[in-house]
Chains A and B, each alone.
Chain A
Amino acid sequence: MTTHMDTPMAMPSTVTAGPPGLAPRNLRRRIGLRQALANGLTLAWRNVMQLKHSPEKLTDVTLMPIIFLVLFLYVFGGVVAGNTHNYLEQLLPGLFGQMALFASMGLGTALCEDIHKGVFDRFRSLPIARSAPLIGAVLGDTVRFCVVMAVLTGFGSALGFRFHAGPASIIAAYVVAYVFYQAMCWISALIGLIAPSPQTVQGIAVTWTMPLVFGSSVLLANTSTMPGWLQAWVKVNPVTDLADTVRALTTGGPVGSHLLLTLVWAAGIMIVAFPLAMRLYLRRV
């Protein structure tokens, strides 16, 4: 019979316990970073398998890009850019940010539901890295990002959108959006851990994503008619930085400081949100 004891996982600083009946085992005092990552990937695999069995969970990320592209393009296109074609070239890269933000919000609800079920008790009583269930949830949600971006790009192309940049900068645009998405996932995880029930997660998520999404340069609104405080908000909003970065990367324009600012924001959010989420998670239940 194969057991976990003879796998090449033993770490230094072990102790032994030799009980009657059962084989002696090497006990580890600490869980290393490599194992934490391996555990996280296994739990990410779990999330992906769940999506495979219940693909309807991807309905929101499939429909959202279509609905928002159609609405924004035909409602605002004429007003903002004179015609819909010009607007599409600018709108679609901007929507990278909005879609990443919206897609990340599913995580909080799923996490909150998961914690209320017994399966998280098992994870917490297994000899795995304490952070693995959270890391797994965030990594597993990469699927949602891929779907939302594929639909956005595919449907946009059908409406006439074309990239005006080399493959390297197009790939860079997706990578930056993904890094931003990861940061947003940690905030979503935080909301999922704070919310008393899965139903309340949605409410909190909507409340905080709306100002971020619409108080930004995503829709190319005219900021000169905004009150000063709102102009300032649009300026510091990381979604603006992301939208402008992706816009520049996909249309071949100058990226300026937006790329750096986006990455700094993403890193900053992760540095704060990860330990906070861990603390809440370990205290929960």
Chain B
Amino acid sequence: MTKAIEAEGLVKRFGATQALAGVDISADRGQVLALLGPNGAGKTTIVRILATLLRPDSGRASVCGYDVRSEGTVVRQLIALTGQYASVDDELTGTENLIMICRLLGMARPAARSRAHQMMEQFGLADAARRAVKTYSGGMRRRLDLAASLLGQPEVLFLDEPTTGLDPRARSQMWDTIRGVVTRGTTVLLTTQYLDEADELADQIAVIDHGVVVASGRPDELKARTGSQTLAVRAADPAHTAQVAAAVAEVTGMRPDVRGDTGLVTTAITDPAMAPAVIRRLDDAGILAAELSLHLPSLDEVFLTLTGQRTEDDGKAA
């Protein structure tokens, strides 16, 4: 069975910037593949190449076995793209946007009209159907965008940062909608900067940094490598930071990351019981902790674990 998405050795350069430096990814049919990475990692470039909007300098990519370069016309019949910036027409109403896409997909006018109304209803946009899209909220706009992408019942759906900039409620609504799409058998490739989003939705995650895949696998495999949680401890007296780091190292068996400016000691842990063990150790030593927390690793911490480097933005600030 051919893969829904397959890319090998994708290279793309924009002037002096190496956007992609040899990317290999693949997704089976019906799977959700998440490309996880910071801004500028090359995620959008990969999506644009797979959606036939951009030609790679070298490398090969195919969708359902059709080459994106030589068989673009066929590929475009199988895919749909929801861009980073909503790819809907601001000046038309929501319904008009959907009618336009239906007509472009070859539907007759009455069929296009009824399909558009049905989708507006289904995506909870019926109340805003007659309003220009520029009056929509961010969440409504993304939903309309997704509705537009689903009109052609695509085999493969590309979602470029589908929830960036959305409030938490709109975000979880979007997740539900995406899950609904997946149950219909559509393969989804989504890009995201959020680890929890990839964790929630994806069957496979490819971590992208500086135009290469630095790690890939199932979410649980990656979490096993990066630690499922992050332990952060800060001594009340900055003079005790080194002792705190030593205590954490002793309990977890790993060398923690120490930030000189804040005195925050962090490390990835797999066993939540390690947190109370650290507290006891500090208590025994008579060290007071001003802060002690357990949380899901941030993207930055994942990168730190996988690549030994902070993400670029953070590196500059530190």
Contact = CB atoms under 8 A, between A and B. Distances in A.
Interface of A: 1-4, 7, 9, 15, 17, 19-23, 25, 27-31, 35, 38-39, 42-43, 45-46, 49-50, 53-54, 117-119, 121-128, 132, 285
Interface of B: 4, 29-30, 48, 51-53, 64-65, 71, 73-74, 76-81, 83-93, 96, 100-108, 111, 114-115, 132, 148, 151-153, 155, 184-186
Contacts of A49: 91-92, 96
A23 B132 CA distance: 34
Contacts of B102: 4
Choose among B78, B86, B89, B90 the residue with the greatest number of A CB atoms under 10 Å from its CB: B89
B290 to A, nearest CB: 46
B104 A118 contact: no
Contacts of B100: 42-43, 45-46
Contact of B74 (A29, A53, A285): A29
Nearest to A3: B153
Residue in B51, B81, B105, B106 whose Cβ sees the most chain A Cβ within 10 Å: B106
A126 B105 contact: yes
B185 A124 contact: no
Given A22-B184, A119-B89, A35 B106 contact: yes
Contacts of B74: 15, 27-29
B85 A118 contact: yes
A28 to B, nearest CB: 7
Given A15-B74, A127-B105, 16 more contacts: A2-B107, A3-B153, A4-B107, A20-B185, A21-B29, A25-B77, A29-B71, A31-B73, A46-B100, A49-B91, A53-B132, A118-B84, A118-B85, A118-B87, A126-B76, A126-B152
Contacts of A50: 89, 91-92
Indicate the member of A28, A43, A118 with the most B CB atoms within 10 Å. Answer: A118
Given A4-B107, A118-B86, A125 B114 contact: no
Nearest to B184: A21
Contact of B155 (A22, A29, A38, A121): A22
Given A27-B77, A27-B78, A39-B104, A125 B85 contact: no
Contact of A21 (B30, B96, B106, B114): B30
A181 to B, nearest CB: 23
Q: Which 7 A-B pairs have the closest CB atoms?
A: A21-B185, A118-B87, A122-B87, A4-B105, A9-B106, A127-B77, A118-B85
A125 B92 contact: no
Given A19-B155, A118-B84, A128 B104 contact: yes
A39 B103 CA distance: 8
A92 B78 CA distance: 53
Nearest to B132: A53
A129 B73 CA distance: 9
Contacts of A125: 51-53, 76, 79-81
B83 A118 contact: yes
B104 A285 contact: no
B155 A53 contact: no
A1 B114 CA distance: 10
B106 A19 contact: no
A27 B74 CA distance: 6
Contacts of B184: 21-22
B92 A46 contact: yes
Contacts of A124: 52-53
Contact of A19 (B73, B85, B107, B185): B185
5 contacts: A17-B65, A42-B100, A43-B100, A53-B93, A128-B104
Contact of B73 (A7, A28, A285): A28
A35 B101 CA distance: 14
B85 A117 contact: yes
A127 B83 contact: no
A19 B132 contact: no
A200 B92 CA distance: 26
Contacts of A127: 73, 76-77, 105, 152
Contacts of A38: 106
Contacts of A17: 64-65, 78, 155
Contacts of A7: 106-108, 111
B153 A22 contact: yes
A217 B186 CA distance: 62
